[in-house]
Structure 1
Amino acid sequence: MLLLALDTATPTVAVALHDGDRVLAQSHQTDARRHGELLLPAVDKVLRMADRALPEVTGIVVGVGPGPYTGLRVGLATAAAFSAALGTPVHGLCTLDGLAYASGLDIPFVVATDARRKEVYWARYADARTRIGEPAVDRPAELAEAVAGLPAVGAGALLYPDTFTGARAGLPAHQSAAALAELAVERLAAGAEFLPPLPLYLRRPDAQVPANYKVVTPRGAP
């Protein structure tokens, strides 16, 4: 087994390589505007660090979000391209699940990432492997009662300390592809199902066709 894990659903471009027993190499770069520039060089870097070649990859793990439209689609499109070229399966995992797994917590807690527009993507967990319900996107003020006192993981929680009062600097703030890969290895061993490698946006993209957009028919067209 040689799993290539990647996630671009948050400002962090995260890539890791896992051989089924351990993480061989990993790379994390945080830059919300350069996912397209950073991802492929990061994949190349991780392969070189592990002294492996892309054709050796037997499976791909990709974070499906939730996340902003532009960054999220970079990772998913790259995973799909690798899958088509290599003939390997793609295993989708919720990005928040990767952060939860990286926390290692065995008590109830919450994960929150920055959704921009003064909102967060978030979910509650019973422990590092068990999510309660589906991810959601909300304004922090709307969550205060639901998350009060709970340990909080993720950069979204750190942005709004008045809401996520249990946020601590020692808990993971950014996505870890290594954690995503280790979670995938556990689920593969257990025969668990994965999410389809499709984007989990939770809301419409920022770029939309203007309401007064006028379609112009070329001259001479029927």
Structure 2
Amino acid sequence: MTAHHFTLSGAPLAALPSGALHWPAAGLLAVSDLHLGKSERLARRGGTLLPPYDTAETLARLESAIAATDARTVVCLGDSFDDDAAARALPQGAEDRLLRLMAGRRWIWIAGNHDPGPAGLPGTHLVELAQGPLTFRHIAEPGARGEVSGHYHPKARLTLGGRRIARPCFLLDAARVILPAFGAYTGGLPTDAPVLDGLMGPGALAVLTGPRATALPMRAGQGRAPRPLAGSGG
């Protein structure tokens, strides 16, 4: 597992290739925007039909991230379910799998804009979590420091081998880190979107997910093939 290691408000963190954020000293793993039940919600509302495997794929990735880090605390940064009805319609097998992951761990559900209410599952439901120097919430707040958030599903657009691709990525600067969407079948917002440009300070990095976490300048690196920056591995 080749992560990008960085420090936010004095807390040593690791952006993992999976899109999860690890705080080893606190035994904490944070993920954002699981959007469990997205294919079910689209089918229920008469939208585009997707293969109904997103929940199983997302839970498998979450299971792997927890096993790799041996996390004692898991923080889900909002939009864990595609809506409240999707939480209630979680298949029994998926619910059992999720409950096994939660067993013996401190599990924090942060409210999102898709799932503002409790999902009827164990764990602690919060609007935001303050732990040590960090604050975990769903949507970034201008002027905040030591902030860990999600919501925007940031994606970097690159040209590789003459082909344009979009890769989910973390965005980080001296004040905050915005996590990519962890769920399968999730779209994304380009890193050059005005709202992201307005949130992120000078020198912000985009850390791409994939086989390894690869860091690029958020602004100057768009449109070029990714090259690891110093300190991006480990």
The structure that has the greater radius of gyration is 1
Q: Same fold (TM over 0.5)?
A: no
Which has a greater percent of helix?
1
